[in-house]
Structure 1
Amino acid sequence: MSARLPIETDSLADRVLHRDGMMLVIDKPAGVPVHAGPKGGINLEQMFGSLRFGLPRDPALAHRLDKDTSGCLVLGRHRKALARLGKLFSNGRIGKTYWAVVRGSPEAESGLIEAPLAKRSPERGWWMAVDPAGQPSATEWRVMARGGGLAFVEFTPLTGRTHQIRVHAAHVGMPLLGDPIYGAGSAGGAALHLHARAVSIPFSEKRPPIEVEAPLPPHMAATFTAMGWDAEAPSPLKRPISA
């Protein structure tokens, strides 16, 4: 029996948060890899045919999100758009805001994590660790709410390293809830609580940045409700978009 996609192909169009002639921003569901791994398997790219909206080719990934991370995923609709988006991402000009639930309660209300990251294992390139010889990596954070041994934290990555938020959060003693690799594990069956809440994309130099927000996924919304946190709290992008 063939594996089933975690969501119905036709429903992916319902998850479009922004659409124009150059790009799409979709609300990626948690638990779905964005592309096939070395061993293949079901993935989100298989469903991009439903996102053509009249164009002759499928859109393509402008960046990546982890399998278990939900939220704003940016797609380019053709080669010119992908080239522009790729340049914006590589130059660090796209603002990104993530929401997470962490175990513990940080003493400070906000901070900056600066810890270089490198591959922890040559055989597992996606497995990262803090390493003085690694690539410079920086993440801003601020606590939005606390309670019951957990904290709702907003993260703003200033660099774009693999698993950056997950490694940095664990490094400073606030591991992400449901992270089986770097932190608080999946105790109690919790799924990873990391959500790409918002992106700000300065695609055109002559127009304001395109700003998009994604609603919380069901498992995080349930945690917010249980903790009495406001899932509709504003999440301004703190990082200035440089010229």
Structure 2
Amino acid sequence: MSDFIYQPPQDDLVILHEDHELVFIDKPAGLLSVPGRGAHLADCLLARVQAVFPEALLVHRLDMDTSGVIVFARSPMAQRHLGLQFEKRQTRKQYVARVWGQVAEPSGRVDLPLTVDWPNRPRQMVCHDTGRPAQTDWAVLRHEEHGSRLRLSPVTGRSHQLRVHMLAMGHPILGDPFYATAEAAAFPRLMLHARELRLRHPDGGRGLTVSAPVPF
């Protein structure tokens, strides 16, 4: 990754849902959620959203290489409300991934603790000694030419969790620049998309589900 050049897509902002407290965006793959270090990494989804909604506040992130649903708060109250929901695992996130190889079982759970791989940051790794608990539920949607299409439902929200858990299963996500190798890496993007986010609206607590179509 030393030769990485940040060239984020210049697509128009795709607003999935907006109201007085929340705005949901369909983030494109290749765009940072928040600015990185240095002026060359300043372009990010947060900046683009704040250009339209100046009051928008960060609630959570998606990896640069991941596309799909992400929510921003439009008031400090909404930010606190949503932050607690994510912290207490009261939100429900559903992803779609294309992975390498034919996954034999119809569904299952990966329960492997994760920690940062310090010499190779930002890579993460499984570590039973110092890792933080991490669980991912998965189900096969269908088998395809290059592998399998899965529905992934993270129980926890660790960094790179889905990517490392799929690697640990022996089925890395196609196009993953960190964890896939050889043929599995030879795809134009990371084949991971946040398809659906379910939460409670900060104004009244009603359930709200927002989804984004899978682009692959």
For the 8 Å contact 2:7–2:30, the answer to whether it is kept is no
Distance in 2 between the 1:121 and 1:5 partners?
Answer: 26
Distance 1:4 1:162, change over 3 A: closer
1:187 Cα deviation after fit: 3.9
Equivalent position of 2:52 in the other structure: 51
For the 8 Å contact 1:100–1:194, the answer to whether it is kept is yes
Gaps of 5+ in 2: 1-5
Give the counterpart of 1:194 among 186, 192, 195.
192
Equivalent position of 1:24 in the other structure: 23
Distance 1:205 1:158, change over 3 A: farther
1:74 Cα deviation after fit: 0.7
Distance 1:122 1:189, change over 3 A: closer
Distance 1:155 1:25, change over 3 A: same
Distance in 1 between the 2:21 and 2:181 partners?
Answer: 39
Note the aligned Cα RMSD (angstroms): 2.0
Give the counterpart of 2:66 among 41, 66, 69.
69
1:1-243 mapped onto 2 (5 Å cutoff): 6-7=9-10, 11-12=12-13, 15-40=14-39, 41=41, 42-52=43-53, 57-121=54-118, 124=121, 126-132=122-128, 133-184=130-181, 187-204=185-202, 207-217=205-215, 220=216
Deviation per CA, 1:172-227: give whole Å up to 9, x if none: 1111000021124664343100000000012359554100110122xx1xxxxxxx
**TM-score, length basis structure 2:** 0.89
Alignment: residue pair count:
207
**Structure 2 letter corresponding to 1:83:** R
Deviation per CA, 1:71-119: give whole Å up to 9, x if none: 0011001111101110000100000000000010111000000000001
Gaps of 5+ in 1: 221-243
For the 8 Å contact 1:176–1:184, the answer to whether it is kept is no
Residue identity (%): 34
Distance in 2 between the 1:182 and 1:25 partners?
Answer: 29
**Structure 2 letter corresponding to 1:130:** V
Distance 1:83 1:216, change over 3 A: same
Deviation per CA, 1:130-188: give whole Å up to 9, x if none: 00021000000000000223110000000000000000000011110000211246643
Distance in 2 between the 1:188 and 1:204 partners?
Answer: 42
1:5 Cα deviation after fit: 5.6
Distance in 2 between the 1:134 and 1:188 partners?
Answer: 30
